[in-house]
A and B are shown apart, each in its own frame.
Chain A
């Protein structure tokens, strides 16, 4: 359910500052304000988007839906987009992206559906320990998988596992508009008990003749009329009427999306996809190169693996702040949004996004996105 963050091209516009805040900013430290404000209310903050869990319910055998109430610093999200959610686990803020399944209406609530991933730090925390009243950090919305508002084109949604999360948001948005165009949803899971939103989807299918629904099981036999069996293949897709006219949206693990693309991309009007980030590498080789995306300056550079990032980036002509160049002064630290690194002295691997990665003592072991 965690997708790779995309550049923020589709971010919603930030709300402008109130005159009071502009006036007070030089004098009031957000640190001090937040300390006192959070004594009064858990999500009051000077500028940080925070949300409180107001409801939790089981969505399937291994997924929960958390309904969140964000504070006023969170600026919303469109169906199909993602947002970063962080919780503090053992003293450390852990961040993952989720696609909201329930979107803010008049009550300004947003829901995320989280599947417990094996070894997943945040997903396990949210599924097993997070409780009503806990406060989470929210990031701004990002992601390109959105409906073309005007087109009444027929669509095909392909979801595998937790890939359902952006697609349920899009399905709900279309259902709310009375299904203006034909929509087919094929939704794969290993077992029936892992399917989410089953009753809701069936009720849409019953209410809207233009909505075609099919659950596909890869790990057990189908028995209901709207169930099928097996991994994605051409035969399953052949059941879709006028396939060539459809806009396709696919979401799921990397392998699934690749398969869908191979089957469909050349045969349909459009093909949009989002794949979950690949699992962190365990076996990294020290040779070869990696791509480093410098998010703030919109550049990509190729550097050698296994070399200090500071040195490698400087060799690319970048002027970076640095001091000791031995990992003690923190001058070179910068945020890492994604990718894996290895500490040159300790050999420790780091796969999580971090706010301060010391470039002088870390090397890249995968492609990276840095806040530079």
Chain B
């Protein structure tokens, strides 16, 4: 693990008690799980369904009604798109992401079961449970183990080897943001490895089958079925669905990139996670994650990934509890002299954009600076 001046180096004993104190925060939350959490997630389910229904109705009214009543199309279309995007964002973040982490498994409600939940994006839940729940959460920001570092597409850290392809990175990043759900969908297919012949065609066909099925289903639902309900006036509905999906993509991309690729976020070498203690694991999660400030609305719209640090510490605790847990977590981090990375959305996203631009060009890890800092400390 690299040491920066913002973090105090912890002795093994300190690491252990650091881990223990965080375990206690977790235990306190677990002890409180109950009706309040069940009511909360059911309210989210209801919000997703009603805004989804409202959005689709508004688009339909705009498309069909707009053909007869002038001036109806545009406002109804805008309302429809916004409601549908809101529904999809809530479903993606606060519902799908959190349920698939198993945050509500304790309820034993088959509809909120982390192992079987299937969300409303083109990526299959099964692939995501592997790339995200397992690879990303276990190996957060470990180079070569956490594919979420640049998704095999972007160079965000100087430790990643530079290639001329990265000169196009600013454009690639924008395209990736617009098509984010498609990127997540093909992440587990590892097209790169297939391209270089490390995965056979037959294997690729097998891996692709469930992904292709999910993609087809999403395409037919949003871009065929619902538009065709409007009959000859399908075009505004089709456009509305496209825009709603793109809005959702842009938003989730923004939130997720702010979670791990801000200026102070660190990456780690594979060696650093061998025989990692629990305290050490917590520390790595802390240094690889960053929060967003912004209050309840921000928490809701990000599925509480505004508390990325707490999410990485406690991925299976119902996320609406992170805000309260963060008070303890911050105090613990302060006591152990660890930097708690948080900031407003514009500030954090600005840092992400800077990383994307900066590391498109050759850059070198700040080895010297770190060494200097350590020797002068």
A residues contacting B by CB (< 8 A) are: 26-27, 29-32, 34-36, 48, 86, 88, 90-93, 95, 323-324, 326-331, 333, 345-346, 348, 354-356
Given A330-B101, A331-B130, A331-B133, the answer on whether A91 and B33 have CB atoms closer than 8 Å is yes
Q: Is the CB of A48 within 8 A of B110?
A: yes
In Å, the complex CA distance between A36 and B115 comes to 23
Given A91-B36, A331-B129, the answer on whether A323 and B111 have CB atoms closer than 8 Å is no
Chain B residues lying within 8 Å of A328, measured Cβ to Cβ, are 133, 137-138, 315-316
Chain B residues lying within 8 Å of A26, measured Cβ to Cβ, are 217
Partner of B105, one of A32, A88, A346, A356: A356
Chain A residues lying within 8 Å of B23, measured Cβ to Cβ, are 345-346
Q: Is the CB of B134 within 8 A of A355?
A: no
Q: Find the residue from B34, B45, B130, B138 having the highest chain A CB count within 10 A.
A: B138
Instruction: Give chain B interface residues in 4-44, CB to chain A under 8 Å.
Output: 23, 27, 30, 33-39
Chain B residues lying within 8 Å of A326, measured Cβ to Cβ, are 138, 281
Q: Is the CB of A355 within 8 A of B108?
A: yes
Closest to B40 in A: A91
Q: Is the CB of A346 within 8 A of B27?
A: yes
B49: interface (CB < 8 Å) = yes
Chain A residues lying within 8 Å of B27, measured Cβ to Cβ, are 346
Q: Is the CB of A329 within 8 A of B105?
A: no
Q: What are 15 sample pairs from A and B whose C-beta atoms fall under 8 A apart?
A: A29-B118, A35-B46, A36-B49, A88-B109, A90-B34, A91-B35, A93-B108, A95-B108, A330-B129, A331-B134, A346-B23, A354-B108, A355-B108, A355-B113, A356-B105
Chain A residues lying within 8 Å of B129, measured Cβ to Cβ, are 329-331
Given A91-B35, A93-B109, the answer on whether A356 and B114 have CB atoms closer than 8 Å is yes
Chain A residues lying within 8 Å of B316, measured Cβ to Cβ, are 327-328, 330
Closest to A322 in B: B134
Instruction: Give chain B interface residues in 129-163, CB to chain A under 8 Å.
Output: 129-130, 133-135, 137-138
Chain A residues lying within 8 Å of B37, measured Cβ to Cβ, are 91
Chain A residues lying within 8 Å of B107, measured Cβ to Cβ, are 88, 91-93
Chain A residues lying within 8 Å of B225, measured Cβ to Cβ, are 27
Closest CB of chain A to B126's CB: distance in Å? 10
In Å, the complex CA distance between A29 and B109 comes to 15
Chain A residues lying within 8 Å of B108, measured Cβ to Cβ, are 86, 92-93, 95, 354-355
Closest CB of chain A to B97's CB: distance in Å? 13
Given A330-B133, A331-B133, the answer on whether A92 and B115 have CB atoms closer than 8 Å is no
Instruction: Give chain B interface residues in 305-328, CB to chain A under 8 Å.
Output: 315-316
Chain A residues lying within 8 Å of B134, measured Cβ to Cβ, are 323-324, 329, 331
The size bracket of the interface on B is 35 or more
B residues contacting A by CB (< 8 A) are: 23, 27, 30, 33-39, 45-46, 49, 100-102, 105-111, 113-115, 118, 129-130, 133-135, 137-138, 217, 221, 225, 281, 315-316
Q: Is the CB of B36 within 8 A of A356?
A: no
Other 13 A-B pairs with CB < 8 A, given A90-B38, A324-B137, A328-B137 = A26-B217, A27-B217, A31-B111, A90-B35, A93-B108, A93-B109, A323-B134, A328-B138, A328-B315, A328-B316, A329-B138, A330-B105, A331-B133
Chain B residues lying within 8 Å of A30, measured Cβ to Cβ, are 111
Chain B residues lying within 8 Å of A330, measured Cβ to Cβ, are 100-102, 105, 114-115, 129, 133, 316
In Å, the complex CA distance between A354 and B114 comes to 13
Closest to B313 in A: A328
Closest CB of chain A to B129's CB: distance in Å? 7
Chain B residues lying within 8 Å of A29, measured Cβ to Cβ, are 118
Given A31-B111, A34-B111, A330-B133, the answer on whether A356 and B35 have CB atoms closer than 8 Å is no
In Å, the complex CA distance between A48 and B109 comes to 11
In Å, the complex CA distance between A324 and B316 comes to 13
Closest to B109 in A: A93
Q: Is the CB of B110 within 8 A of A91?
A: no
Closest CB of chain A to B79's CB: distance in Å? 21
Closest to A352 in B: B108
Closest CB of chain A to B319's CB: distance in Å? 14
In Å, the complex CA distance between A309 and B109 comes to 24
Chain B residues lying within 8 Å of A36, measured Cβ to Cβ, are 49
Given A329-B138, A331-B133, A346-B27, the answer on whether A356 and B109 have CB atoms closer than 8 Å is no
In Å, the complex CA distance between A329 and B133 comes to 5
